[in-house]
Amino acid sequence: MYNKAIYVIVDSLAIIIMLITMHALGRIKEAYGKWLKFAMLFGIFAITANIFVAVSVNETMAAVSYCAYFSSIDWVILFLFGFCVLYTNHDVIYKKTRHFFAVLMLFDTISIFLNFLFNHQFYIYTSQNEYGVTFFKTGFYSFYYLHLALDYLLILLSLILIIYRIKKSYSVYRIKYLLILFVLIFVILLNLAYMAFSLALDASVVFYGVAGVLIFFSITIFEPRSLMLISVTRAVDDMNEGLVLFDITDTCIYANSFAKERFSMDVSDFSFSSEPISSILKRMGKTGNVYGDVSFNQKVLKGKKEINVYYRVKYCPLLDRRDRHIGSYFLFEDTTEETRYLDALTEARTNADKANQAKSAFLANMSHEIRTPLNSVLGLNEMILRNSEDKEIIDYANNIKQSGAVLLSLINDILDFSKIEANKMEVINVEYNLHALLRDIKQYFEQLSLEKNLYVNISCDENLPTTLYGDEKHLRQVLSNITSNAVKYTKEGGVSISVRSKRRTDKKLVLVFDISDTGIGIADEDLKHIFDAFRRVNEAQNATIQGTGLGLTITKELIGLLKGTINVSSKQNVGTTFTIEIPQEIADNTPIGSFIYKPISQSTPYKESFHAPNAHILVVDDVMVNLKVVEALLKRTLLKIDKATGGDEAIAMCKEKKYDVILLDHRMPAPDGIETFKVISKEGLNTDTPIIALTANALSGAEAEYKEIGFTDYLSKPIKSDVLEELLIKYLPKEKVELNK
């Protein structure tokens, strides 16, 4: 009796375990999880039926229990077969056989329960043990062996599919199938033992629960963890960085292939006292539980050549979930390519800087070499205009002046482009009157447009503010460049400039300029290139038009500097419109009113702006004709002018005489202008005299450089008489200057 009680208790525990496992199987989303769940459900039915066999009180109860048991085994094996087919990825076999075997099992189940009518499957007989306990056993007829054949056929097919998958798989993937194979063989052996020894009770059913738990453990815990561990180990071993792990006693427990190959060491050779780890720790300045990140290089023999291999090393402690130290690791990253790339990049940058410096030096030399003779040409030409009364000669001189202005404009374009490239173009904001700016634009282009029988019309919104605050100089340059281009490329009609505003507040607005012409227009395919440096669209057609191809490039960069935008629309043989938007601040919100243009006569004779007969200045230049130009330009001001043709002569003169202003050329034979300046500003009678750098160097940043050296101001060649007179009025003693009204 105790045997039956123990058997029932063990079977009940098996049912509980299987129920818990079935609940856990709900986490498996794959189809094979559902089939395994059904197999375990019918396993519970089989164990329950076996319990009823054990507690049966008569043959009828035992017969019903055996029928339920044998039929449940059918469905356990069917669903287990489905699980094996799906788990081994034989989806095609699953789709083709599932209905066929399900029908066979259904017929077999019906046949088992028909045993009550035909007694063709099994019969019941009783036996007693030595303690007088009655057991109901079964004897089998030939039909029962068909039932067994069907069950073992499905088991055999399952085993074949698993063995086939084991043969086709490799590494860790064999483990997942071997575990399932082991569980199935284990249950089969127990069932065969029950039949071979004719045991009173079928103890193998207890292991249905054990088998279910083992399969669940295999597919949800052991297999993923094994896959993860092996995959992580393989990934770490294959990665292109070195990894060396140490335990809490600083003993190396792992080194991947990269580390072992690069340092020709085995796991046991790595230690905190071995190289390169020892040197790395010393370079970090610490040992122990600290983070570190250093670089080092290693000499490696490649063929017959020794090369440097560079590494970035990270040292980091390993902590458990409670932040307790459990070890540490070193990570070696090969940075050879990165280091070589950075070295190449640095070298390229250095070469580019040298090339840029060479270009700047070339532009400075070209500026000086062109501006120096141009200063003489335009200066002496100015003297002809002032002194000649012959109309024909004056006409010739005006042509020279106009051509000189064009040449100077070309030089200025190149220098402006140089400033933009060097990021040395500065924004200088001042208060200005918009109408005055527009009048200057109209005045400047009126003569050029009249020569081509063109008009230049300007319209302005009457509600715009009277005074704005912004970079008037660069705004003027932008408008001049666009208008100049419009006049150049227009043969008939003219140019219209309209000014309005948008997004206006009490303190700010956006000025909008629409500059339209009736010129030749721009083809659609050329529009995207109009702002490219040194490029002129439709070169063949426009070859006779003067220009460097930099005007629009400079214009766009200047507009960007002013935080504005420029857009262009054009139609060939109709005209082009440039729309420029530039934000400005409002200095005086009074409405500006209508735009009125009063032309200023271009033939106004020269009139000196001041007289200073008691003032004394020194002009220093190694080119004699330049000295003559300055002297001629200032002749009517009545200034007393001393001239020096070199630095030594100027120094000697400054030791003997006090001057009110000194104009000092930069590029002279030794000592040059800067060396001469340093001596004059420290020795002699003119240590506090304003010294103006007189030079043909108008390259980017030149003015700032001269002022940083100590020069009072800067005047570029060719010298404009009005600018020269302005500077002298500014720096001559006020009591010695009489301004002309």
Mean pLDDT for the chain?
82
The band of 366, judged by pLDDT with boundaries at 50, 70 and 90, is low
Q: What is the mean pLDDT of residues 224-230?
A: 65
Helix, strand and coil percent figures for the chain, each rounded to 5: 55, 20, 25
The band of 111, judged by pLDDT with boundaries at 50, 70 and 90, is very high
Most confident of 3-17, 348-362, 419-433, 636-650: 636-650
Contact status, residue 732 vs residue 615, Cβ threshold 8 Å: yes
pLDDT at 389 over 80: no
Report the pLDDT value the prediction gives residue 544, as an integer from 0 to 100: 42
Report the pLDDT value the prediction gives residue 49, as an integer from 0 to 100: 92
CATH number at residue 643: 3.40.50.2300
223 and 107 assigned to the same domain: yes
68 and 114 assigned to the same domain: yes
> Does some domain include residue 408?
yes
The band of 50, judged by pLDDT with boundaries at 50, 70 and 90, is confident
135 and 212 assigned to the same domain: yes
The burial of 579, by beta-carbon neighbours within 10 Å (0-12 exposed, 13-18 middle, 19 or more buried), is given as: middle
CA 680, 685, 688, 691 torsion-angle sign? negative
585 closest CA partner among 472, 442, 462, 441: 472
Most confident of 85-89, 340-344, 422-426, 731-735: 731-735
Q: What is the mean pLDDT of residues 357-382?
A: 69
CATH number at residue 482: 3.30.565.10
Report the pLDDT value the prediction gives residue 423, as an integer from 0 to 100: 60
Report the pLDDT value the prediction gives residue 288, as an integer from 0 to 100: 44
561 and 695 assigned to the same domain: no
Give long-range contacts, CB 8 A cutoff, 24+ apart: 72-75.
72/42, 72/43, 72/45, 72/46, 73/46, 73/151, 74/105, 74/108, 74/109, 74/112, 74/147, 74/150, 74/151, 75/38, 75/39, 75/42, 75/45, 75/105, 75/109
pLDDT at 547 over 50: no
The band of 545, judged by pLDDT with boundaries at 50, 70 and 90, is very low
Going from the C-alpha of 675 to that of each of 652, 682, 709, 740, the distances in angstroms are: 14, 11, 11, 37
> Does some domain include residue 11?
yes
Report the pLDDT value the prediction gives residue 565, as an integer from 0 to 100: 92
577 and 645 assigned to the same domain: no
66 and 211 assigned to the same domain: yes
CATH number at residue 310: 3.30.450.20
Report the pLDDT value the prediction gives residue 383, as an integer from 0 to 100: 72
pLDDT at 575 over 60: yes
The lowest-confidence range among 17-21, 640-644, 661-665 is 17-21
> Does some domain include residue 513?
yes
* DSSP 8-state class, residue 259: H
The band of 249, judged by pLDDT with boundaries at 50, 70 and 90, is confident
Domains identified in the chain, total number: 5
Instruction: Answer with the residue of higher pLDDT: 176 or 457.
Output: 457
Most confident of 127-136, 282-291, 590-599: 590-599
317 and 393 assigned to the same domain: no
> Does some domain include residue 339?
no
Domain holding 692, by residue range, is 610-739
112 closest CA partner among 143, 81, 138: 143
66 and 118 assigned to the same domain: yes
Phi first, then psi: what are they for 552, rounded to 5°? Answer: -75, -30
550 and 656 assigned to the same domain: no
C-alpha–C-alpha distance, residues 439 and 432, integer Å: 13
Q: What is the mean pLDDT of residues 67-78?
A: 92
- Residue 471 structure tokens: 């970079």
The residue with tokens 């007189």 is 694
Report percent pLDDT > 70 for the chain.
Answer: 83
Contact status, residue 512 vs residue 580, Cβ threshold 8 Å: yes
Contact status, residue 459 vs residue 592, Cβ threshold 8 Å: no
Residue positions counted in the chain: 741
* DSSP 8-state class, residue 620: E
- Residue 664 structure tokens: 């000092």
The band of 1, judged by pLDDT with boundaries at 50, 70 and 90, is low
Instruction: Answer with the residue of higher pLDDT: 421 or 349.
Output: 349
Among candidate residues 288, 311, 334, the one where a domain is terminated? 334
The band of 316, judged by pLDDT with boundaries at 50, 70 and 90, is confident
Report percent pLDDT > 90 for the chain.
Answer: 23
Going from the C-alpha of 644 to that of each of 373, 478, 649, 650, 665, the distances in angstroms are: 19, 40, 6, 6, 10
Instruction: Answer with the residue of higher pLDDT: 741 or 620.
Output: 620
251 and 198 assigned to the same domain: no
The lowest-confidence range among 22-31, 124-133, 153-162 is 124-133
Most confident of 105-119, 419-433, 690-704: 105-119
> Does some domain include residue 309?
yes
The band of 542, judged by pLDDT with boundaries at 50, 70 and 90, is very low
Instruction: Answer with the residue of higher pLDDT: 148 or 281.
Output: 148
Q: What is the mean pLDDT of residues 571-588?
A: 90
Among candidate residues 208, 231, 254, the one where a domain is terminated? 231
Contacts of 468 (CB under 8 A, 6+ apart): 431, 432, 433, 434, 511, 584, 585, 586, 587
Q: What is the mean pLDDT of residues 205-216?
A: 75
pLDDT per residue over 712-723, tens digit each? 998 887 788 888
> Does some domain include residue 354?
yes
C-alpha–C-alpha distance, residues 168 and 176, integer Å: 13
Report the pLDDT value the prediction gives residue 533, as an integer from 0 to 100: 54
47 closest CA partner among 2, 8, 87: 8
> Does some domain include residue 530?
yes
Report the pLDDT value the prediction gives residue 166, as an integer from 0 to 100: 87
pLDDT per residue over 506-534, tens digit each? 889 999 999 999 988 888 777 777 776 55
Among candidate residues 334, 360, 381, the one where a domain is terminated? 334
pLDDT at 240 over 60: yes
> Does some domain include residue 99?
yes
The burial of 71, by beta-carbon neighbours within 10 Å (0-12 exposed, 13-18 middle, 19 or more buried), is given as: buried
pLDDT at 601 over 70: no
Report the pLDDT value the prediction gives residue 651, as an integer from 0 to 100: 92
Angle, CA of 390, 396 and 400, to the nearest 5°: 140
The residue with tokens 């063989």 is 185
C-alpha–C-alpha distance, residues 546 and 393, integer Å: 25
Q: Please report the DSSP string for 74-97 in residue order.
A: HHHHHHHHHHHHHHTT-HHHHHHH
**CA 103, chain centre distance (Å):** 64
Contacts of 337 (CB under 8 A, 6+ apart): none
pLDDT at 327 over 90: no
pLDDT per residue over 405-436, tens digit each? 667 666 666 666 666 655 666 777 888 898 88
18 and 122 assigned to the same domain: yes
C-alpha–C-alpha distance, residues 243 and 649, integer Å: 75
Q: What is the mean pLDDT of residues 176-204?
A: 72
CATH number at residue 364: 1.10.287
185 and 105 assigned to the same domain: yes
